[in-house]
Amino acid sequence: SAELTTLTDSDEVEAIPIQPMAPMPAQLKIHTFESEVDPFIFSQLDSGHFVLFRKVWREEQRLIQGILIEQQVFIRGVVNKAFQQTSLSQMSNLLAVYQGNVLSAFTGKTSRGYLSTPRELKGELLYQSKLNEPLGELELLFIINRLPTGAGAQVIGLIAIVLIMILCGGFLWMYRLGIKQIELVRQQQDFVSAVSHELKTPLTSIRMYGEMLREGWATEDKKQSYYDYIFDESERLSRLINNVLQLARMTRNEQQADFRQLSVKQLMDEIRSRISTQAERAGFKLSMGCDIDATVKVDPDWFTQIVINLIDNAIKFSANTDKKEVDLICKQLHDGRVQFSVRDYGPGIDKQQMKKIFKLFFRSENELTRETVGTGIGLALVHQMTVAMSGQVDVINCAPGAEFSIIFPQTG
């Protein structure tokens, strides 16, 4: 006879209550029997079901014990469930094979692999194993799907991103530095061209008028105008040369400010005659309003050069205006500092150029098409010398014209 039990998904096992053991009789009769049990055998039926059975010999009778297993229920519920809980599911797919025939295929978990994962590995056999006996005929094949990221993958990724950002930042910095260097070279070339022009033009005129005066070709009524022209051009050349020399000294840090504590009245008295002559010969009217009782600590020579450069700049850019006037005003601010302002009545300054006009060699006009004279170092020197004397430079547009201000702390 044979005993065979079939289990499916819908089968339920009924719990059998355990009865308490009856008290043993005083005299117990023991019956012995002889039995033989064969190992379990695992096989597959034609219907596709798995069967696990064994032969049992008892009292010379052969019994067959076994269990009928639904194939897909067993593979999905046992094999695949265990597979999904392992790290192998992150890098491979699973094939369940019985005697060379593929029964089922399961896809592993979706995992983000390395960017450098070689595609040649995809589909290669990663691991092969058989189940323990008596299920040894059931074989599991793990096929590579993707390589998982290691423990340090995130750190490596972050380092790579940082390196890429550093490289991009370095390239951007080099590009901007190159653009600045190209612009600086262009400005230096414009400066050389401007200095050459500023030196050549007046020297040619001075030489021409000097020859006319030496040869006696000039009439008496023309001589004075020729003398004035030679004087004016000589003064302009002196200012240009002084600016260039001062720029060279400050660039090499060869000259330090010689500070002296002077009143505003003393400063104005020292520069009044020079700037008045400068404005008068250019056909401008100079108005001065500096009636304040304050003391500042400055280098008087530097201060004079600053004011002369500002007056020269005002005359230069308002030469074509109807109101040829320059104002030099001094006032004391609410915080005690002293402000010296030079205002013209010209066209003013473009807002986009206000932050650039104090840069070295900067000119608001193209060197080939410019209408005003200059080298592009006057306002840069004003800024450098003012800052070196612990001062501040500012510029604002008025209606009309522009106003340049230099501010120094009050002393005494």
Query: Of 316, 298, 305, 290, nearest to 242 (Cα)?
Result: 305
Whole-number pLDDT of residue 175: 93
Instruction: Give dist(CA 356, CA 348) in Å, integer.
Output: 14
197, 226, 252 - which closes a domain: 252
The pLDDT value given to residue 20: 55
- Alpha carbons 116 and 382: distance in angstroms, whole number: 60
Q: What is the pLDDT of residue 46?
A: 85
> How far, in Å, CA of 83 to CA of 138, rounded?
14
DSSP H/E element including 182: helix 153-215
Quick check: is 109 in a domain? Answer: yes
Q: Residue 159, SS3?
A: helix
Whether 45 maps to a domain, the answer reads no
**Residue 63 belongs to a domain:** no
Residue 410 per-residue DSSP state: B
Asked if 97 and 193 sit in the same domain, the reply is no
- Residues 265, 281: one domain? yes
In 3D space, the residue among 97, 109, 104, 107 whose CA is nearest the CA of residue 140 turns out to be 97
DSSP letter assigned to residue 113:
B
pTM (two decimals): 0.52
In 3D space, the residue among 263, 282, 284, 277 whose CA is nearest the CA of residue 411 turns out to be 263
In the chain the first and final C-alpha atoms are separated, in Å, by 127
How many domains does the chain divide into?
3
The Cα 301–Cα 264 span in angstroms is 14
- The C-alpha atoms of residue 89 and residue 111 are separated, in whole angstroms, by 9
Write down the pLDDT at residue 114: 45
Residue 405: phi and psi, rounded to 5, are -125, 140
Report yes or no on 149 lying in a domain: no
Same domain, 260 and 247: no
Residue 193's domain comprises: 164-252
Residues, the chain: 412
Name the amino acid, one letter, at 255: Q
In the block, tokens 């600045």 appear at 180
203 and 298 inside one domain: no
Whether 125 and 168 share a structural domain: no
pLDDT the model gives residue 129: 86
SS3 of residue 96 by DSSP: strand
For the chain, which residues score pLDDT lower than 70? 1-35, 110-122, 147-151, 194, 197-198, 254, 361, 363-375, 412
Q: Are residues 220 and 265 in the same domain?
A: no
29 located within any domain: no
Q: CB 216: neighbour CB atoms within 10 A?
A: 8
- Which single residue is written with the structure tokens 């040869």? 215
Q: Which residues contact 273 (CB under 8 A, 6 or more apart)?
A: none
d(CA 305, CA 395): 18
Q: Name 50's Cβ contacts closer than 8 Å, sequence gap at least 6.
A: 42, 43, 44, 68, 69, 70, 71, 74
Whether residue 136 sits in one domain with residue 209: no
296 lies in the same domain as 392: yes
- Cβ–Cβ under 8 Å, residues 378 and 400: no
Q: Residue 129: inside a domain, yes or no?
A: yes
Q: Give alpha helix (H) positions in 252-299.
A: 264-281
Take residue 86 and report the two structure tokens written for it.
Answer: 């392992």
Looking up residue 216, the CATH number of its domain turns out to be 1.10.287.130
In a shared domain, residues 393 and 266: yes
Please give the pLDDT value at position 28.
54
Say whether both 314 and 345 belong to one domain: yes
Shared-domain flag, residues 113 and 175: no
The per-residue pLDDT for 372 is: 55
**C-alpha atoms less than 13 angstroms from C-alpha of 61 in its C-beta half-sphere:** 8
Domain C-terminal end among 114, 144, 174: 144
Q: What angle do CA 308, 348, 292 make, to 5 degrees?
A: 50
With respect to residue 193, please indicate whether it lies within any of the assigned structural domains: yes
The domain boundary residue, chosen from 229, 252, 275: 252
Domain assignment present for residue 157? The answer is no
In the chain, count H helices and then E strands: 7, 16
Residue among 231, 212, 234, 211 nearest 222 (CA): 212
Q: Are residues 226 and 327 in the same domain?
A: no
Q: Please tell me the distance from the alpha carbon of residue 77 to that of residue 392, in angstroms, as a whole number.
A: 83
